[in-house]
């Protein structure tokens, strides 16, 4: 079986975000980048280790430390999460999701313009 796509928890995803922004980075840099979370340095190292275990990141020895880099891409993660929401909450169909947003979320003019542009692009590609 291929390395079953790992489940990233919420806290873990914030660590991934740091690596998606820039990699490779040392744990020290990662800790620094997460200063605003208020997490203890130990906590962040734990999260890094869990991500290693899940093979969501890799660590390459570089002198005495490791340099971490993501193995799971942000796009892959977004896909998993989106699909999960779609399946769990909207019966697996996209339209009801957007319908929901259109009814319950405030879509800015910009949102709407972007959506229209996207639909146009999709339709052009499909036809």
Partner DNA sequence: CCTCAAGGATTACGAATGTAATTCGAAGTG
Partner DNA sequence: CACTTCGAATTACATTCGTAATCCTTGAGG
Note the residues at the interface with a second copy (CB under 8 A).
10, 13, 75, 77-79, 81-83, 85-86, 88-90, 93-95, 97-102, 104-105, 107, 109-112, 114-116, 118-119, 121-123, 126
Nearest residue (CB) to DNA, 38 versus 91: 38
Nearest residue (CB) to DNA, 52 versus 86: 52
Nearest distance from C-beta of residue 77 to a second copy, angstroms = 7
Could you write out the DSSP letters of every residue in 30-95? HHHHTGGGT--HHHHHHHHHHHHHTTSEEEEEETTEEEEEESS-HHHHHHHHHHHHHHHHHTT-HH
Nearest distance from C-beta of residue 74 to a second copy, angstroms = 9
Nearest residue (CB) to DNA, 7 versus 73: 7
Nearest residue (CB) to a second copy, 36 versus 75: 75
Q: Which does 98 bind (CB under 5 to 8 A by kind): a second copy, DNA, none?
A: a second copy
Cα–Cα distance measured from residue 53 to residue 120, given in angstroms and rounded to the nearest whole number: 42
Q: Which does 66 bind (CB under 5 to 8 A by kind): a second copy, DNA, none?
A: DNA
Cα–Cα distance measured from residue 20 to residue 82, given in angstroms and rounded to the nearest whole number: 18
Cα–Cα distance measured from residue 30 to residue 24, given in angstroms and rounded to the nearest whole number: 10
Cα–Cα distance measured from residue 127 to residue 124, given in angstroms and rounded to the nearest whole number: 5
């Amino acid at each position: 079986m291929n390395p079953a796509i790992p489940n990233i928890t919420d806290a873990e995803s914030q660590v991934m975000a740091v690596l998606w922004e820039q990699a490779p980075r040392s744990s020290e840099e990662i800790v620094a980048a997460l200063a605003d979370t208020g997490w203890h340095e130990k906590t962040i190292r734990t999260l890094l280790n869990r991500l290693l275990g899940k093979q969501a990141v890799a660590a390459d020895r570089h002198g005495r430390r490791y340099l971490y880099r993501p193995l799971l891409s942000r796009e892959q993660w977004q896909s998993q999460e989106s699909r999960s929401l779609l399946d769990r909450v909207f019966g697996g169909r996209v339209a009801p999701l957007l319908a929901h947003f259109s009814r319950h979320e405030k879509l800015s003019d910009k949102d709407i313009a972007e959506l229209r542009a996207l639909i146009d692009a999709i339709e052009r590609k499909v036809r």
